[in-house]
Amino acid sequence: MSPSSSTSERPPPPTGGLFDGVLSRGPVGAAVSPSAWLRALLEVEAALALAGADTGAVPPQAARAIAVACEDDAAYDAAALGRAAAAAGNPVVPLVQAVRAAVGGDAAAWVHLGATSQDVLDCAASLLSRRALAMVAADLAAAAGAAAGLARRHRDAPALGRTLLQPALPTSFGLVAAGWAVGLDVVAARVRTVAAGLPVQLGGPVGASAGPARAALAGRLGLAEPLLGWHTLRWPVADTAGCLATASGIVGKIGLDVVLLAQGEVAEVLEGRAGTGGSSSMPHKHNLVAAVSARAGALRAPGLAGTLYAAMAQEHQRAAGAWHAEWETLSDLLRCTGSAASWLRECLEHLRVDAPRMLANLHAAGVPGADGGVPPGVGEQVDRVLAAR
């Protein structure tokens, strides 16, 4: 396989789907696209060569030539590599051939030195995950900020507390929004912790080699250095799955609350900037797209995380299928959670709150204490949450 010479064979743009507008909002979709995977794999091959030069295993000139050849990802044909992967069982085998062809000369022999396919693919997965997790965390944090803003603005807005979806007792919308902020802060922190711990992978064909190369590669890629290879001990993938499913769970819960509060009969919140959000087909109907789409993304997380947990049953020194099952699943889980977080941010940043309606609903419910305003101590709880952020 040689780098493609024709633009007509260029890989397709990362997002071409009919459903991307709804299900792939935000930056994560592009960050885990086939193109992004290709770029990450090339980055790893480049870093491997440069790390080899760092430790004296690779001639510096060869390392530089390899790094240059890996820079132009447009010179590689993702679709053709994908097809060739069918013969080898993974796309790294044909990619290495393509890189060697692009490097040419004596330097070609130094490409992929000491690495196995899984080393390169796992490193690329760690890189992609780290970047995508940072994006997820940023949207979660922005959504948390928006929730905190709602909590501050509506600190003293009485609202009906509902248990089992039945009227229960008074609370405040400030406290509700403060709860959203706390939940989002917690999961943003979880996501950042996992991102910071994602490890490099370098162990050669059976994971037995290590030496200085691994530390050097970790340094080059900015990944953590693990005590040992994790080719078939997939705690880093499981950690990623866990923080994403947890984040999706919190996002989905808040999206659910917004959907319920926006019901016609409740009408306590409305989505979207003032003056926008009308439906063209039913003029009387107000679109509720952001919370709905946030829920849609979040709903996929438990199943995808479950697959990654189940795929931890990996045989001996390289799994016969379970590793391969991770690739798309991990990408999808990052993308779905990222889309959900991005939609929730949009939702909360433009949520319009109808405090008078909240008060009216509280009164109409006829629950005890409905006339007493916000219960004692609730405002202080909101303050404590805001102060702790």
255 near a second copy, judged by CB under 8 A? yes
In the bound complex, what is the minimum distance in angstroms from residue 222's beta carbon to a second copy? 21
Can residue 205 be called a binding residue for a second copy (CB under 8 A)? yes
Active site includes 129?
no
Q: Considering the rule CB under 8 A, would residue 174 count as an interface residue with a second copy?
A: no
The only residue of 1, 99, 175, 341 in contact with a second copy, by rule CB under 8 A: 175
Which residues 65-124 are close enough to bind a second copy by CB under 8 A? 78-79, 81-91, 93, 116
- Tell me how far apart the alpha carbons of residues 318 and 142 are, in angstroms, rounded to a whole number: 40
The H-or-E segment that residue 123 falls in is helix 117-153
Q: Does 39 bind a second copy (CB under 8 A)?
A: no
* Residue 274 engages a second copy in binding (rule: CB under 8 A): no
Spatial contact of 84 and 182, defined as CB atoms under 8 Å apart: no
DSSP label at 171? Answer: E
List b or e across 60-85, with b for residues whose CB sees 16 or more CB atoms inside 10 angstroms. eebbbbbbebbeebebbbbebbeebb
Contacts of 19 (CB under 8 A, 6+ apart): none
Q: Is 318 a catalytic residue?
A: yes
What's the CA gap between 253 and 338, in Å, rounded? Answer: 15
In whole angstroms, give the CA distance from residue 108 to residue 102.
Answer: 8
Site string for a second copy, 302-321 (x = CB under 8 A): xxxxxx-xxxxxxxxxxxxx
CA angle (92, 93, 98) in 5-degree steps: 90
Contact window for a second copy (CB under 8 A) among 57-65, 138-146, 156-164, 216-224: 156-164
Q: Smallest distance, Å, CB 130 to a second copy? A: 18
Cβ closest to a second copy, residue 103 vs residue 115: 115
The single residue among 232, 350, 363, 383 that binds a second copy, judged by CB under 8 A, is: 232
Query: Shortest distance, CB of residue 60 to a second copy, whole angstroms?
Result: 24
Catalytic residues: 279, 318
